[in-house]
Structure 1
Amino acid sequence: MSASTPTKHLASCIFCKIIAGEIPSFTLLSNDKVHAFMDIGPIAKNHALVIPKYHAPRFTDTPDEYAAEILPAAKKVAKAIGCDEYNILQNNGRNAHQVVDHVHFHIIPKESDSDDSGLGIGWPTQGLSMDQIKEEYEKVKSRM
């Protein structure tokens, strides 16, 4: 089975092993569709992950019934972390900085501007004209 083919579980996947209980985790919540746990390589105190209990490399490969449970779980985790400011981050593919090929959402607290922990990102806008945006919109809309 290729790494891009979604399946219920993949024996070589570290997150599937966590779901199966083969690797211990600091579990925050777990139900039949999602599992949330503390990140063991955190970039901030209380950095957590929410993953579907279905192995899919990309978010677009995740069955809707699993995807529907992710944001409510992320909301519960974010509230439990107790930090008013945080990022919810999800990466798809190596160019987007995905390291583990199992869909996962990071809940990353940001305690203060002076705090070096947490996610530090810029927002380099592309400076597209309205005509360019409209052209791209038409392409995307036609594929919906």
Structure 2
Amino acid sequence: MIDSDCIFCKIVAGDIPSTKVLETDRVFAFRDLYPKAPTHVLVVPKDHYANVAELTAADPALAGEVLRATAEVAAAEGVAESGWRLFSNTGADGGQDVFHVHFHVAGGKPLGRMLSN
């Protein structure tokens, strides 16, 4: 399923250009336009799900494919050995800006603590 108003659905469809990093039948990964680290790749399911909870409830197997793809991206980007961060923002309070579930693969430098006390 595709949401015609969703920017990530448009990227997956090729209607908006992106720099593809990885693609499978059900997963697409592309470089973040505003990277927060030397490596910053977004990994999305090609089908539209608003957030992690919606994806895992609807298609746990696809959720696993997306997670597997994040590790493949980290390896392909050369950050698997040195370390990388995986995160997904869910909901407005969680900082989600695009309501198509996506995972950030970030690395390439020491990232420090994500949250402070």
TM range (shorter): 0.7 to 0.9
Equivalenced residues, count? 112
The one-letter code of the counterpart of 2:62 is: Y
The one-letter code of the counterpart of 1:42 is: P
Q: Distance in 2 between matches of 1:121 and 1:32?
A: 32
Determine if contact 2:39/2:108 at 8 Å carries over to the other structure: no
Instruction: Indicate the SS of the match to 2:25.
Output: coil
Listed as ranges, the gaps of 5+ residues in structure 2 are none
From the two aligned structures, give the one with the greater helix fraction.
Answer: 1
The one-letter code of the counterpart of 2:100 is: H
From the two aligned structures, give the one with the greater strand fraction.
Answer: 2
Q: Deviations over 1:33-91 (max 9, x none)?
A: 11011111111112001000111111111122321211110001011121212110111
Q: Which runs of 4+ in 1 moved over 6 A?
A: none
Tell me whether 60-69 or 15-24 shows the greater mean CA deviation.
60-69
How well do the aligned residues superpose, as a CA RMSD in angstroms?
1.5
- Structure with greater contact order relative to length (CA < 8 Å, sep ≥ 6): 2
Instruction: Indicate the SS of the match to 1:48.
Output: strand
Q: 1:121 aligns with which of 111, 114, 117?
A: 114
Determine if contact 1:110/1:119 at 8 Å carries over to the other structure: no
Who wins on radius of gyration, i.e. which is larger?
1
Q: Distance in 1 between matches of 2:76 and 2:108?
A: 14
Percent identical across equivalent pairs? 38
Q: Distance in 2 between matches of 1:70 and 1:16?
A: 15
